[in-house]
Homo-oligomer: A and B are copies of this chain.
Amino acid sequence: MKNPIGIFDSGLGGLTGYRALRRLLPGRTLLYFGDTARVPYGTRSREVIRRYSVQDANFLLSHGVCAILVACGTASSNALDLLEQTFSVPFVGVVAPAAEQAARVAENGNGRVLVLGTSATVATGAYERAIHALDPKIRVRSAACPLFVPLVENGHTRKGDVAATAIAEEYLLPHADFRPDAVLLGCTHYPLLAEVLSAVLPGPVLISAGEASAKAMASLADSLPPSDGVPSDAFFTSDDPTLFRREASRFLGAPPDAPVHHVDIEKY
C-alpha cells in the first residue's frame, strides 16, 4: 500500500463515491472514513461542520493519504476552502464535478437544473454558484430534502415505498412546473432513492454528486504520487464497526470486502 487516496463522509453515503472510485482506479488503495458517530452534518452549523471536516482530513492524513475525496455534500459546500488552506494535499469535493455535469445536461436542454440537498447544503447555495460560474444563463432551483438521509439509512428506498414517495412528492412536486433537464443529487445518499425520485418526477437526468466526484478524482490520479498497484483498502468509522459493516451493504451492494476499524475521531 503506497500513496492511498482518502475518502471521507459524515456517514455511509460517501460509499457511493468509494464504489465508483474503486471501479475507476483498480490499482490504488482507498481509505474510507465515515463519521457515523457524528452523522448527520447537514443539520449542524457551518462552524461545527468546518471543525469536523478538518478532524476527518487530519485522520486520513495520519494514514498517509496523498489526496482526499470529500464525499459529503455538506462538508464540500461548507469546508472545502478551509481544507485546501489548511492542508497541502489535493482535495476533490462533490460540488464542482456535479455542477459541471449538470451544466452540460442543461446546456443541451432547456437550461434548467433542480438541485436537491440537505438543508445545510442548500443554505450555502454552493451548487447554484458553481453552476452559475460555468454558465450564468442556466436557471437553478434548489430544494432542501432533510428526510431523505434518514429514509435511506432506514431502508426506505424501494420504488413504491409509501413514506419515501410521500416525502419525495412534498419536496419535488412544487418544482414539477419548472421542468428541470437535470436533477442534481447533491447528497451522496440520494442515488439510492433514484427509483422513487424518477417515479415522482419522471424525465430529468439524475446526476449523482458522488459518482461525479469519483470521476474527477480519477482524472487527477496521473498527477498523484505513484501507487504500488497493490490495493489494500480499509474502512474506518467513528461508531461501531459491526453496525458500519451491516449498513454499508446498502451502499456497496454487498458487504465491504476490507477491514472496518474504529476511530476515536475527537482525538484528531
Contact = CB atoms under 8 A, between A and B. Distances in A.
Interface of A: 36-39, 43-45, 47-48, 146-147, 149-151, 153-154, 156, 162-164, 166-167, 170, 239-240, 243
Contacts of A45: 37, 239-240, 243
Contacts of A47: 240
A43 B37 contact: yes
Contacts of A39: 43
Contact of A150 (B150, B162, B166): B150
Contacts of A48: 37, 239
Contacts of A147: 150-151, 154, 156, 163
A68 B243 CA distance: 30
Contacts of A150: 146-147, 149-150
A14 to B, nearest CB: 17
Nearest to A47: B240
5 shortest A-B CB distances, which residue pairs? A162-B166, A45-B240, A150-B150, A163-B166, A163-B163
A164 B147 CA distance: 11
A218 to B, nearest CB: 32
A243 to B, nearest CB: 6
A121 to B, nearest CB: 15
A143 to B, nearest CB: 13
Contacts of A37: 43-45, 48
A166 B147 CA distance: 14
Given A37-B43, A39-B43, A43-B153, 16 more contacts: A36-B44, A37-B44, A38-B38, A44-B239, A45-B239, A45-B243, A47-B240, A146-B154, A147-B150, A147-B151, A147-B156, A150-B150, A162-B162, A163-B164, A163-B167, A166-B166
Nearest to A38: B38
A171 B122 CA distance: 31
Interface centre among A37, A43, A44, A149 (most CB of B within 10 A): A43
A43 B37 CA distance: 6
A240 B163 CA distance: 29
Nearest to A237: B45
A38 B35 CA distance: 12
A251 to B, nearest CB: 15
Nearest to A247: B43
Contacts of A146: 150, 153-154
